[in-house]
Amino acid sequence: MKAFAELIKTLDSTNKTTRKVAALTDYFLKADDADKLWTIAILSHRRPKRPVNTTLLRQWASEISNIPLWLFEESYHIVGDLAETIALVVPSSEGRTHKSLSQYISEISALKDLPEADKKAYLQENWLQQTYFERFVFNKIITGSFRIGVSQKLMTRALSKATEIDEDILAYKLMGDWTPQTTTYKKLILEENEDDYLSKPYPFYLAYAVEDAFQKELEPVEQWSFEHKWDGIRAQVILRNDEVFVWSRGEELVTDKYPEFQRFLKVIPNGTVLDGEILPFSEGSIGDFNALQTRIGRKNISKALLEKTPVILVAYDLLEWQGEDIRQKPFSERRALLDKLIEDCDCDAIGLYLSSTMEFSSWEAAAEERDRSREKRSEGLMLKRKESPYLVGRKKGDWWKWKIDPFTIDAVLTYAMRGHGRRANLYTDYTFALWDKGELVTFAKAYSGLTDAEFRQVDAWIKKNTVERFGPVRSVTPHHVFEIAFEGIAESTRHKSGIATRFPRILRWRKDKPIAEANTLDDLKALIPK
């Protein structure tokens, strides 16, 4: 555990990629196999289930720290992270533990079935035996909120340096439905196991957002293939050995969530891997993302839900054909094979559609098509260089996403809450409202978009203009108007306003507008695509 805690301390204390890679490489060269496996799991978001709820953790930490619970709660709100708060308030220790990372995780996993008294005794005993950073890491493992600024790609790079195995091969090995309980470091990383590859997807290739004046950098326009950017769930659908496997971009096996794709077996041959977008598709037209949310996270997909929210796959790339990995072929060749595949089958009947490609003679013509995106239920255009291979991760140069401008609305600040981390002493998390029949109705929350100086100005105003306090939340005098941007909008019965917005953020502070000129709820509803 000492070595893992030192690793996390190093990773958490630097923004330099080279230093992070060096620290990880050194760790992978020195740690034992069991600890290496759990480190890989933790850094690729495969953590043990939380064995103790946070209410009990807060109670037991305040007790052993000999401080009242209200003071612990205030400290927690200021610090903004439960694991860090507990690590700070528990009495200091020089550290007497010699347990390994894997031993700790084994013990933590076993806590779930123990009585509360035994859980409490275990946690308090171990807190007192750990140094601050060991305790911090220990708590992070328990709470499951490990965020230390290390991507899986960076971790894979370090693992490649330590093992001398190609990064692409490691990225492929690390995808899939594995856990440290179901495999070993040797089997997962060092061995070649053909059976393991039956259901495994390929690492996804991700696009960069376009930048200002990007057309000049991407000239000539004839080198590019265009298609609409669909607003759904990115997925790979794999057909091998008469089985179908569906993987989301988040590396989650979601085959059981989309039983419709079992129909692909009737017409799509084995040895095929499709890259595309899962979209809601009702009565012959593409629905909005909000409809898909009714299927995300459901443990059981009922017949009624299948009928209410049917889905299709809109395919835009072919990664494997006739059992051969064709990712290194140019995009134009892969698309020609995909086009022929879908042209030759009765694919509409099985819910498989093609994301049509387009070519333009000028960037102005491409921009005109982009402006029509909302009519087609898309978020903008995708640009793919015709000669580009299918790479791993986010690589700049060959794939770009050119999104349409967001929706915007002018709203009134009505509630505020303290932020987290470096913003823990400032009120930076805001709730906004729109006019409806003479009253302000809340519709969205946002916490990004202002400069640090603007956040400080708003914070000072909030502290002087608080109307009521509800725990960490303050209601404020309606006075300030902000322009709010968001990517999507849909009707929703779960929100007081009756409207759900996607990715709301602050675009600018409208100091020029009085609250009487803020938009209405009807203005917001008018933005919903017909």
The tens digit of pLDDT for each residue in 251-296 reads 777 888 899 999 999 899 999 999 999 998 887 788 777 777 777 7
Higher pLDDT, 191 or 60: 60
Assign 3-state DSSP to the chain and report helix, strand, coil percentages, each to 5. Answer: 40, 25, 35
Report if pTM > 0.75.
no
CATH of domain 407-525: 2.40.50.140
| Highest-scoring range by mean pLDDT, 34-38, 81-85, 283-287 | 34-38
When pLDDT is cut at 50, 70 and 90, the band that residue 149 belongs to is low
When pLDDT is cut at 50, 70 and 90, the band that residue 176 belongs to is low
Structure tokens at 227: 């298609």
At a CB cut-off of 8 Å and minimum separation 6, what does 409 contact? 434, 483, 484, 486, 519, 523, 524, 527
Strands of 293-372, DSSP E = 311-321, 324-325, 352-354
User: In this predicted structure, which of 353-357, 383-387, 438-442, 471-475 has the lowest mean pLDDT?
Assistant: 471-475
User: In this predicted structure, which of 279-283, 386-390, 423-427, 431-435 has the lowest mean pLDDT?
Assistant: 423-427
415: which strand partners? Answer: 431, 475
Over residues 44-68, mean pLDDT: 88
When pLDDT is cut at 50, 70 and 90, the band that residue 214 belongs to is low
| pLDDT value at 216 more than 60 | no
Gap between the Cα atoms of 42 and 152, Å rounded: 10
| pLDDT value at 422 more than 70 | no
When pLDDT is cut at 50, 70 and 90, the band that residue 195 belongs to is low
When pLDDT is cut at 50, 70 and 90, the band that residue 151 belongs to is confident
Q: How many CB atoms lie within 10 A of CB 237?
A: 23
The tens digit of pLDDT for each residue in 346-403 reads 888 899 999 999 999 888 899 899 988 888 888 899 999 999 999 988 888 899 999 8
Structure tokens at 246: 């569906």
Q: Given phi > 0 = left and psi -120 to 50 = alpha, else beta, which region is 381?
A: beta
Gap between the Cα atoms of 377 and 232, Å rounded: 10
Gap between the Cα atoms of 280 and 230, Å rounded: 11
Q: How is residue 465 annotated by DSSP? A: S
Where do the structural domains in the chain lie, given as residue ranges? 2-143, 205-403, 407-525
The tens digit of pLDDT for each residue in 478-522 reads 999 999 999 888 888 778 888 889 889 999 999 989 999 999 999
- The per-residue pLDDT of the chain, averaged, comes to 87
Over pLDDT 90: what percentage of the chain?
46
CATH of domain 205-403: 3.30.470.30
Please name the CATH architecture into which domain 2-143 falls. Orthogonal Bundle (1.10)
Instruction: Give the distance between the most distant pair of CA atoms in the chain.
Output: 73
Q: How many CB atoms lie within 10 A of CB 278?
A: 25
Q: For residue 401, give the amino acid letter.
A: K
- Helix H or strand E encompassing 225: strand 224-230
| pLDDT value at 446 more than 60 | yes
Instruction: Report the Cα 75 to chain-centroid distance in Å.
Output: 28
